[in-house]
Structures are given as C-alpha cells and as structure tokens.
Amino acid sequence: MSKDKSAKIPTPQAVRGTQDMLGDFADRFQHVVDTFDRVRRLYGYKRIEVPVIEPTAVFARSLGETTDVVSKEMYSFEDRGGESVTLRPEFTAGIARAYITNGWQQYAPLKVATHGPLFRYERPQKGRYRQFHQLDAEVLGSDSPLADAELLVFADQLLKELGISEGVTLTLNTLGDAASRDAWRAALVEHFEAHRGDLSEDSLARLDKNPMRILDSKDPKDRPIADSAPDIDAFLTGEAQDFFGAVTSGLDAAGVAWERNARLVRGLDYYRHTAFEFVTDRLGAQGTVLGGGRYDGLIEALGGPPTPAVGWAAGIERLAMLVESAPVEPLIAVIPDNPSLEGDAINIAYRLRQQGFRTTIAYRGNAKRQVEIARKVGADAALYVRPQPDDGSSRYHLTELKPDPDRLFLGRVLQAIGPGVGGLSGGDSGF
C-alpha cells in the first residue's frame, strides 16, 4: 500500500494550561524577572536553584495530605525506579528540603531568592496556568520580626519599581505563636461545631482536619458563620503581640502602607505569626499578586531541626499582566550597501555590541529590503555601511528610523563608531 503523500501530518498542540510567549508579554515577563533579580541583590538575597522534581513526600508533608494541592492538583507519578516523584507545585518545601539535606544551617540566617516554573493541575483562568512561574524569597534561620518586616519592604519596593503598586494593598495578619494558635483553633472548633448543621460539605470536611480554612470559605452558606467566628486577637500571648507590633513598626519606619485583615489565615499548623498578601482588584476575583508568611514549623516537619523561617512568592505572569510595558534599550540596525560590505557590517556590529549597544543585522535582502526589516523589528536607527568613494574602504552613516529619536543615545552611537562615520540624518535621507 502506497502512502498518501498529500496527507497532512497532524501538529501536536500545546498542553492545556500552558503557554508560549513572544513579543510584548514575553518582554514584560522578562522585565519582572530582571527587576526582581536587581532588587533582591539590593537586600542581600543570594540566588539559589532547586530541582523542578522532588520526592512526593516533600510536598505531601509540607502542604498537608488533605489540601487540594496535594489531593487534586499535583503532577505526581512513579519513576522507573518505583519512587513517587512530583513536579514542584511551589518553591518553599523544596528550599526547606535543600536547607536540611545540604547542611545550609551553617549559613543561618540565610536569605535566598529564586524564580522558575511550577506545576498544578487546576482549571486555567486569567493569569493562572497549569505550568506557571513564580518569584520566591525566603529567610531561613531567623526568628526576628525584622526579617518579616524586611521581606515585606523588599516586596513593596519590587512592586513600586515595576510601576504596579497603584491599586495594590498590603493586607496583614498575625497567627500568633504556637500557644496563641492552639487556643484560637480550639475556640474556632467550638464555634463551628455549634453551627455544624449549617456548614457546607467542604467546611464540614475541614472542621476536623483544618478548621481555620473555614474562615476563608467562598461558599455563601458559610459566610455568616465564618464572619461571626472569634478573631485571634483575644487569644494572643504577650510575646505574640510584641512580635506583630515589631513587624508593623518596621513597616511604618520604612513608610510601607498596610491594612489589617483579621480573617487572613494559613491553615497548616507550621505557620506562625505573620501572614500577608498584596491584593488588587485589577485581576478579577483572583486578586492576590504576592503572598507569604512565617512558617517556623515547616523544616521540623520535614525532619530537620526546629528552624524559624519566613518567605513570600509572587506569580510572574500575574505581575506581568499588571506591567503596562517593559523598558527596551534602543536598537541599531547595521545595513551593508552591497554584499561585498557584509564583513564590514559584521565587524561594526560586533564593535557596537562590545560597547553595550543593542544591534541587529538582517540575514537577507538588498539594502532597501533590510531597511524594511529593520523598521519591522522596531529599530531606532539604521547604520549604513557604504564604500568610500576614494579608496573603497567602508564609510558609516547613521539614519533615524523613528520620530522623536533619542538624540543623546544617537550621539553615543556616533562616538562609539569613531573615525569613518559620515554623520547623522533624519529618516527621509535613508533608502
């Protein structure tokens, strides 16, 4: 049987909930990452890398067996050796594992930051994907409230430098120390038990294992009961009150605005003291752009020594959606007048790049076609490489391709080219 050569080979499609990026959004995405890397260095946070894949136990212990992330959303499977492994759904647990297994306790307090892809099998929606990307910053081995305050100031500066702090609010709560949390938890259980018959099915399931999560239930049936539940303030120990006061004083000293949200909770037992979210109404119902808190019990839950720690994470896609545009360095297109001058064009492009100028050369077409390509890719100016009338050596001429050019930048380009440049002209004097 002969094959039908006209049959079209089917092209595999992208996995649902993933994305390909090119152009403006990719530029904004990279701008978020670049700004994060610059700001984290200002605060002395070391860049680290941890594996994309971990033993499933790392996340099952850290996130809790009963949470939606573990029970419904993790990409877990057995490898060929029969070990259950998981694509990371978040950074903190893997960093905590690395802290224990690599003996990083010797560097405590350790300030670290990273970014990269994470994976959760959930319903895709605006700004939320099954493969998504986050920024992450952690302080491990410090029980000082100043660590919490500094992390929050770091986050606030990041949002301001991205130009997206307008309409974003820092909401803050305390979960108290272990004694405060245990007393509050008992009071919540008593309150919810008194209304057991009116709770939703999800909240009934949480009542025995994770009662604090009922406080942030979105089910209308639960809201009156959750809203009338006791706040933690009545159960805070003196030490817990002092800790929260030191965090808020640090924020006030740095000029960071914040609001108290007494209903902001973290359900797992290893969370302590500070919990926070930067929220906005510019992303629809899912309005958190950055969130975190103190997790003094996590490293111990993973088999390490008791270790205080605090951190935050932020979705890169969600931050990029808020960024209006990414700053772009001006671009110079080098255009040889004829094919015999291509070597000279490569040489001058190399020299310009060595001096820090973004430079491009088209791979095809005559000079006129290369100008069209330069305009298409957004070049700010064209640097023509032309033969010298007397001895045939190359001569350079810089021509503006955009209105309202940056004259200071173009002057720097002329200076960088040095001898042999023929001058600068407006866009109409090119091809």
Please write the tens of the pLDDT for every residue from 331-376: 999 999 888 889 989 999 999 999 999 999 988 889 899 999 999 9
Per DSSP, the residues of 2-66 read ---TTSPPPPPPPPTT-----THHHHHHHHHHHHHHHHHHHTTPEE----SEEEHHHHHHHH-TT
Low-confidence ranges of the chain (pLDDT < 50): 66, 428-431
What count of residues does the chain have? 431
- Taking the CB of residue 194, how many other CB atoms lie within 10 A of it? 10
Indicate the residue type of 52: V
Tell me what pLDDT residue 430 has. 43
b or e along 172-187 (b: 16 or more beta carbons within 10 Å of the residue's beta carbon)?
bbbbbbeebbebbbeb
Distances (CA, A) of 375 to 370, 381, 413: 9, 9, 18
- The DSSP bridge pattern shows strands 309-315 and 272-280 to be unpaired
Cα 101 → chain centroid: 26
Tell me what pLDDT residue 266 has. 79
CB 412 within 8 A of CB 383: no
Tell me what pLDDT residue 328 has. 85
Tell me what pLDDT residue 311 has. 97
Q: Where are the beta strands (DSSP E) in 141-283?
A: 168-174, 259-260, 272-280
- As a three-state string, the secondary structure of 342-354 is HHHHHHHHHHHHH
Our CA angle for 137, 138, 140, nearest 5°, is 165
Distance, CA of 64 to CA of 209 (rounded, Å): 10
Indicate the residue type of 201: E
Distance, CA of 363 to CA of 370 (rounded, Å): 8
CB 269 within 8 A of CB 298: no
Tell me what pLDDT residue 431 has. 38
The angle that helices 342-354 and 407-417 make with each other, rounded to 10 degrees, is 120
Tell me what pLDDT residue 68 has. 59
Distance, CA of 165 to CA of 162 (rounded, Å): 8
Strand partners, 140: 110, 309
Q: Give the pTM.
A: 0.87
Distance, CA of 265 to CA of 271 (rounded, Å): 9
Tell me what pLDDT residue 54 has. 96
Sign of the dihedral defined by the CA atoms of residues 325, 330, 336, 339, in that order? negative
- Taking the CB of residue 167, how many other CB atoms lie within 10 A of it? 10
Helix (H) or strand (E) holding 113: strand 110-119
- Taking the CB of residue 288, how many other CB atoms lie within 10 A of it? 14
Helices (H) and strands (E) in the chain, counts: 14, 16
